[in-house]
Structure 1
Amino acid sequence: MSNTAGSILNPRTSTYEFSGVKGATLITLGLPLLVIILNQLIRPDYYIKGFFENFEFEQLFYNIKPISYYIFHNGRIWCYYILWFVILAILDVILPGYTMYGVALRDGSKLKYNINGVSISIFLIMVVVYRWKLTNGEMPELQFLYNNHIDICLTTILFSFLLSTIVYITSFFPTTKSENNKKGERILAVGGNSGNVIYDWFIGRELNPRLGPLDIKLFCELRPGMLLWLLINLSCLHHYYLQNNGKINDSLLLINVLQGFYIFDGVLNEEGCLTMIDITTDGFGFMLAFGDLALVPFTYSLQARYLSCSPVTLGFVKCSLIIFAMVMGYYIFHSANKQKSDFRQGKLDDMECIQTKRGTKLLCDGWWKTSQHINYLGDWLISLSWCLTTWFQTPLTYYYSLYFGILLLHRQTRDEHKCRNKYGKDWEIYEKKVPYKIIPYVY
């Protein structure tokens, strides 16, 4: 085992997130339960109406079998899911793309990535089109996905537990030695090397666990969960299509288009993830594994799932309003991120900034003089546009926008804490220049 308490490369974790072990334990038990409950409240045979006016407690666990069943007797779905995961992993490695390197790690090395989102996207589209033509629109795979929704959901949750346990165990074994890392030490996450098994397993002990050329963290961020989310949405649209003799509902089509665009945009621009806090700072443990593989596909698809059970006809005006909210959010998010990226690359030297004692610059001009995280506002507007596709049938479908708002607030406070420690007095000057954290003139 490679790491010791006194290692310079891997310092011990000094601060805890989520209230430490107790918080990590509660989240580990509570979030999977929440995902199951949310999906149980939106089923073809039972779904919430209005402000929970038809809520029945016994429906929360209706037809849910003992956990042992999903572990030992759910072999067909386990085989399908593992096959899905492995095939995507192989494609992630072998499909053509271009090489990029991540940020410098603590040992001075940079990880190599095969950026092939374009190839993955083209391949997936070709497979879907081929299956559509081959089955004359029947698409039994999508029917299976729709009909076995909750069983697949529980399988991905259990798979998240399994994967996070495997990467935790392997983090104790030495990796390949290199010029930068002659001892073969695995680089651990600064926040996941506390020595407490539960906390480190949850938050992620190793920074970038890899299986040969496959970077497990980046792969899980953009492939199995994101693309499963896309297929779940398509299965809902397909279910409505079959049930209504080839007719298409405008709200179901709109949510598929809006979220499909967002998913492909993320997959096609995967190089942007290489500088995100998820990749550069967070370890890969249960928090990310569960979030990527289970939370994303089975809660971000709630709007499409609900509309397949209780469709609403939006019409031109409402569709236009929703599309406007999505376009505005996308414009703010991407133009702000591009502006910061161009500034970091030295393309916008004329923009106002604060030169820090660390030698780096804090941008406080353009989009970034309106708030410290103006891109978060754009991202949240996108989430709101998705929820609006269900209009005001029930507040349940607005779960995602509420959850995402809380997540962005948490990220903002984490980033603020990190920057305050990193920049000291320079950060105080920056806060006076840019006082608003996310929403200009509000927060």
Structure 2
Amino acid sequence: MSLLNPRTKDLEFSGIPGVLAISLGLPTLCVVLHQLCNDHYHQRGLTIDLDELTNFHGLSFSEIAFNGQVWTYYLLWFFGLVLFDTIIPGTVKKGVTLRDGTSLSYNINGIQLSCLFVLALATRWQLTHGSMPELVFLYDNTLQFTVVAVIFSALLALFVQITSYLPLSGSNGKGTKERILAVGGNSGNWLYDWFIGRELNPRIGPWDIKLFCELRPGMLLWLLLNLASMHHQYLKYGQVYDSMLLVNLLQAFYIFDGVLNEEGCLTMMDITTDGFGFMLSFGDLALVPFTYSLQARYLAREPLTLGAHYIGFILGVAFVGFYIFKASNNQKNQFRQGKLPHLKSIQTERSTKLLCDGWWSLSQHINYFGDWLHATSWCLPTGFITPLTYYYICYFAGLLLHRQHRDELKCKEKYGKAWEEYEKKVPYKIIPYVY
């Protein structure tokens, strides 16, 4: 067995049963959430009308999944962004050192691309005098775009699965043509590896598929879906309510913060550890845009006036959450760069240090707590009529708990006794004094 690519022994999600359940269940959830928030379904409390939930208003599955116009627009969107991502100049940054001793180069051009994207939106607004037919089409065909994105993400995962078996065109750092596979995605079971992701960093030339999908098509489509909902509310009611405006502003801030600070993704688990398979492809391209925009779509047909005091409270929650998230991450990054030598830490046998001071004395993942708190501010503008619009923070909590568990297992194996000492000093996992 290759030392570069050890065989995966421990399967996540209970192996094949879990992988199948997620691969079928989450796409179904995307459709269900859309149905609960369309213009024909009025959600109140926990009551669900099953007949209306399965009512696609005369559309067959083939008309939803294989709409030629929707496919054309989606492919133009995806590959247009690929083109801009590769031709727009940026700053070249190196990623983490890989198992073969090399590090990949990334073209960091989020600022330039964001400026071009905003300019294009402003230009279309001016040329169409605010009618924006693209946003109308996107809102009216959100279900079709959802299903198309799911199918495309499955095909993309299949593509990178196949190419992971092909040798590199040139040699790697070990002097072979062997690709670097994800430690968790080299089980030998084709379905499991397709889901988890077999290759660590699938690329076509210099274009990195994983980083691109992480920050470009899904994130920016999420922004467009929010704008389409706000545009629909304006056309329907003749005004944009403060709740809709607040959701758009809070989520746009988060989206652009991610796109503009893409360099920070180079050290995230998604990039450094996880392979790129259906789990990430579907999450990036379908789950993020079509479920994270749920609050805006709900408010498009259920307008809500918040008032200054409640808006102030929501902004306070958003600020506190974002401050904790940013301040804690910045502190850890500075510590790793040797800029904060006065902070307490635990020396490991791997010549690294575990930070247990400052923000990181409060919990092992204090940044997760800040991120979750910030996300809560996106749901609060929808009021408390239905729990539907709080889906995101429930899902996000599950995601963060899963990440924390994976990180804990990895750190126990990696750091041994040093990790045991660390857990005694920092006993809380995410929420200080709670969990």
TM-score range, shorter chain: over 0.9
Equivalent residue for 1:327, pick from 319, 332, 343: 319
Aligned residue in 2 for 1:52 = 46
Equivalent residue for 1:341, pick from 313, 325, 333: 333
The residue type paired with residue 147 of structure 1 is D
Aligned residue in 2 for 1:3 = none
2:251 aligned with 1:259, yes or no?
yes
Task: Return 5+ residue gaps in structure 2 as ranges.
Answer: none
Aligned residue in 1 for 2:90 = 97
The residue type paired with residue 384 of structure 2 is F
Q: What SS is found at the alignment partner of 1:99? A: strand
The residue type paired with residue 177 of structure 1 is G
TM-score, structure 1 normalization? 0.96
Q: What SS is found at the alignment partner of 1:368? A: helix
Q: What SS is found at the alignment partner of 1:389? A: helix
Contact preservation (8 Å) 1:18, 1:24? yes
Question: 1:383 & 1:18 partners in 2: Cα distance?
Answer: 25
Equivalent residue for 1:88, pick from 70, 81, 87: 81
The residue type paired with residue 57 of structure 1 is L
Q: What SS is found at the alignment partner of 1:321? A: helix
Q: How does 1:424-443 map to 2 (within 5 A)?
A: 424-443=416-435
Equivalent residue for 2:307, pick from 296, 299, 315: 315
Contact preservation (8 Å) 2:157, 2:277? yes
Residues 90-147 of structure 1 deviation map (CA, whole Å, 9 limit, x = unaligned): 1111112101010011111101100000011100000000000000000000011011
2:203 aligned with 1:210, yes or no?
yes
Contact preservation (8 Å) 1:171, 1:186? yes
2:126 aligned with 1:129, yes or no?
no
Question: 2:386 & 2:111 partners in 1: Cα distance?
Answer: 37
The residue type paired with residue 364 of structure 1 is C
Larger deviation, residues 8-17 vs 224-233:
8-17
Q: How does 1:41-440 map to 2 (within 5 A)?
A: 41-49=36-44, 51-53=45-47, 55-63=48-56, 65-71=59-65, 73-178=66-171, 180-245=173-238, 247-440=239-432
Aligned residue in 2 for 1:19 = 14
Contact preservation (8 Å) 2:93, 2:105? yes
User: Cα distance, 1:21 vs. partner?
Assistant: 1.1
Residues 260-291 of structure 1 deviation map (CA, whole Å, 9 limit, x = unaligned): 00000000000000000000000000000000
Contact preservation (8 Å) 1:47, 1:306? no
> How many residues are aligned here?
434
User: Cα distance, 1:8 vs. partner?
Assistant: 1.3
User: Cα distance, 1:14 vs. partner?
Assistant: 1.5
Question: 1:416 & 1:227 partners in 2: Cα distance?
Answer: 32
Question: 1:176 & 1:103 partners in 2: Cα distance?
Answer: 22
Task: Flag the 1:32–1:179 CA change in 2: closer, same or farther, 3 A.
Answer: closer
Contact preservation (8 Å) 1:164, 1:284? yes
User: Cα distance, 1:179 vs. partner?
Assistant: 5.5
Question: 1:102 & 1:70 partners in 2: Cα distance?
Answer: 40
Q: What SS is found at the alignment partner of 2:175? A: coil
Residues 384-432 of structure 1 deviation map (CA, whole Å, 9 limit, x = unaligned): 1111010112100000000000100000000000000000010000000
Q: What SS is found at the alignment partner of 1:46? A: coil
Question: 1:393 & 1:238 partners in 2: Cα distance?
Answer: 23
User: Cα distance, 1:182 vs. partner?
Assistant: 2.6
Task: Return 5+ residue gaps in structure 1 as ranges.
Answer: 1-5
Alignment RMSD: 1.1
2:25 aligned with 1:30, yes or no?
yes
Contact preservation (8 Å) 1:340, 1:363? yes
Question: 1:96 & 1:313 partners in 2: Cα distance?
Answer: 43
TM-score, structure 2 normalization? 0.98
Task: Flag the 1:67–1:166 CA change in 2: closer, same or farther, 3 A.
Answer: farther
Question: 1:214 & 1:342 partners in 2: Cα distance?
Answer: 29
Question: 1:185 & 1:66 partners in 2: Cα distance?
Answer: 45
Task: Flag the 1:314–1:420 CA change in 2: closer, same or farther, 3 A.
Answer: same
The residue type paired with residue 214 of structure 1 is W
Question: 2:173 & 2:282 partners in 1: Cα distance?
Answer: 32
Contact preservation (8 Å) 2:64, 2:143? no
